[in-house]
Structure 1
């Protein structure tokens, strides 16, 4: 049944056909996606993404087809490495991978460390590779490490990931050891403002979010989050009050495409699967053959009910209705959410489908450009200007 599901999804995906107008609008403008997990994917299995690849959601040909010219490479460090030197070492290794991509194909890719870099590289026909750190664990409580990673190109830091760390509580962690940000976390937000690193509040607890909003002197970003209004009880997403606070702060929420982030039905499926898998893990072991066999059998018998492109558009609409067009963008989580991507948005070649959907819903070309990159560039530029003055 799994193979049949994938087949039917692929067929349904072809039902989305972007017009020439949508393609031109996509290709003629900077397109920033603030969260693509290529580096960690390559850490698990190296592939030359400067060429077409059989695996994953991203490679150069598909990025060109989709008009993607400024994907933030996620420097993702698992929470299991928190409080260890290995955390910092892995972050450096993943940055090395991004540099290796550019080294293999400097005619295709370039490291981007500023808004000016992105704009100039776009004019040159290059795909910019700015970087964001997903999980602040590699900072290890050291402002020298913060400076080190800034110099290496990190331009946003997701303060925590799936567990509370030395910076912040996590939305996924029932422990609330800091009741928001740690004392160092509060200091770190101030220093990130001063050095020019965007504060990313995806993954953090609600209390941590509000504390970051209060402390930060520049707008925040949610690099890959969606809306709790569509997934009640899923704290990883943002509720309407948080979105309003983000809008007042001048920030931007970059919508995550994963079906379990945007669809209540898919979220319910995921919760049920996770509960049953955990029971098997506790009995048989997390990496056991029995656990692997269970996962395969469960998904064959109970396939994931994929979201669609329309579901993602609903999230964008909701933000616009709440706080206006200036506060929403794209943070797909390609290469990070596995086989949960919605029909119509299965890989980086499909952004013109999103643009077509926005056109169909009456968005102006000017507003679509804001969603593609304008809003994120505004926030990034504000961060740069604040840092330059401090």
Structure 2
């Protein structure tokens, strides 16, 4: 009995502390639940109390968060005629470093523009080399702000390092000068797309602006060049070329192609420089992308009509007075005419209509930005006047119901996909 009691004593002795410990633990758990519930409630209250970001604020956050790539900015040729240090604020033009930072621009494709006249007079390759050297010098002078980008991977790395990439595209393949060795030369110098022609037919392709169509599309050399571009990893750019040439490019190219700075012809009937619905559909089937041009005459038929009336008035004045259209008297007349009859700028909403049209036609994966900043003169739409304006475009897309994921595709995702596919094709060939 006493032994039994002794055996039970330890149990009785430790029973109370154990119960207390359980109660304490239970109390702490309950208290913890209450604390967690309280914290959760406080978090919900804080979230509810936090001011909701406006669409403008959301747009600015998106602009800073993701890569914005614009495939056509005409800085080199602008600086060729009047040099300015674009690493600082410049009083002229549409692009400089401070404004690019303000707009969230991370990849500004520098257009190596070759005037169509050089096809006959010569000097295309030399000018292209000079302009490429200019871009390289811009980077060398401000390595803490700019960097070259020879690949899609370079662009991503530059973005991670807080640098604005200056990849290069050649506007007008005239600089190839009929020699495929020059394609390799320009690839080695950083050219990653070539617009096959510009305002006149050349030895590669007919132009959408040229009444004369000697090749009835691409020349034999042009077809060979497209294949060579595929094989080396240079994107084929179908902006500026004639409709016939476009369809021939689509037959020849084995890799996706781009329209680096074109808009939808749906809104500008008869303007061959823009892309028809059938062309946009075929471009998408090929996996390519149309980069929307911001110029008012690419966006609005009313702007085109207003410009044509102005041109006709200037021409009539010159003829009536026997003057050269480039004379000072004619320039003064033109200035006075515009003072009385101002140019009609397209609106941001009209630019957004072009994005909407492409998305409704072929989907979100085949449209991007090719503003033509520094290339369309004083014809940019309201609220899209320079490279600080991309948040305005993003805000407009948000207002129209585009998701953040959709907007990222427009800003750079679609272009990066095409670039990577072109690189992959070249790596295999």
Length-normalised TM-score, structure 2: 0.85
Of residues 199, 219, 227, the one that matches 2:264 is 227
Of residues 106, 109, 122, the one that matches 1:69 is 106
**Structure 1 equivalent of residue 399 of structure 2:** 360
- Which moved further from structure 2: 187-196 or 280-289? 280-289
Of residues 367, 378, 390, the one that matches 1:328 is 367
**Structure 2 equivalent of residue 380 of structure 1:** 419
Of residues 252, 268, 275, the one that matches 2:289 is 252
> Does residue 317 of structure 1 match 2:356?
yes
| 2:109 partner SS | strand
> Does residue 19 of structure 1 match 2:50?
no
CA distance in 2, matches of 1:174, 1:253: 24
> Does residue 80 of structure 1 match 2:117?
yes
**Structure 1 equivalent of residue 82 of structure 2:** 45
Deviation at 1:273, TM superposition (A): 2.2
Of residues 84, 90, 98, the one that matches 2:135 is 98
Stretches of structure 2 lacking an aligned partner (at least 5 in a row): 1-53
Using CA pairs below 8 Å that are at least 6 residues apart, which structure has the higher relative contact order?
A: 1
Deviation at 1:97, TM superposition (A): 1.1
CA deviation map 1:98-122 (0-9, x unaligned): 1111011000000101000000000
Residue 83 of structure 1 contacts residue 137 of structure 1 at CA under 8 Å; is this kept in 2? no
Of residues 285, 292, 299, the one that matches 1:262 is 299
Aligned in 2, Cα 1:298/1:261: closer, same or farther, shift over 3 Å?
same
* Larger radius of gyration between Structure 1 and Structure 2: 2
Residue 55 of structure 2 contacts residue 399 of structure 2 at CA under 8 Å; is this kept in 1? no
CA distance in 2, matches of 1:112, 1:278: 44
**Structure 1 equivalent of residue 312 of structure 2:** 275
Q: Which runs of 4+ in 1 moved over 6 A?
A: none
Deviation at 1:200, TM superposition (A): 0.2
CA deviation map 1:307-353 (0-9, x unaligned): 11111100000000000000000000000011100001010001001
Residue 162 of structure 1 contacts residue 171 of structure 1 at CA under 8 Å; is this kept in 2? yes
Stretches of structure 1 lacking an aligned partner (at least 5 in a row): 1-16
CA distance in 2, matches of 1:188, 1:38: 26
Aligned in 2, Cα 1:363/1:306: closer, same or farther, shift over 3 Å?
same
Residue 72 of structure 2 contacts residue 110 of structure 2 at CA under 8 Å; is this kept in 1? yes
Length-normalised TM-score, structure 1: 0.94
Count of equivalent residues: 374
| 2:90 partner SS | coil
Residue 112 of structure 1 contacts residue 118 of structure 1 at CA under 8 Å; is this kept in 2? yes
Task: Tell me the C-alpha RMSD between the 2 structures.
Answer: 1.2
**Structure 1 equivalent of residue 171 of structure 2:** 134
| 1:141 partner SS | coil
Of residues 203, 214, 217, the one that matches 1:177 is 214
Deviation at 1:85, TM superposition (A): 3.5
**Structure 2 equivalent of residue 338 of structure 1:** 377
CA distance in 2, matches of 1:79, 1:85: 10
Deviation at 1:360, TM superposition (A): 0.5
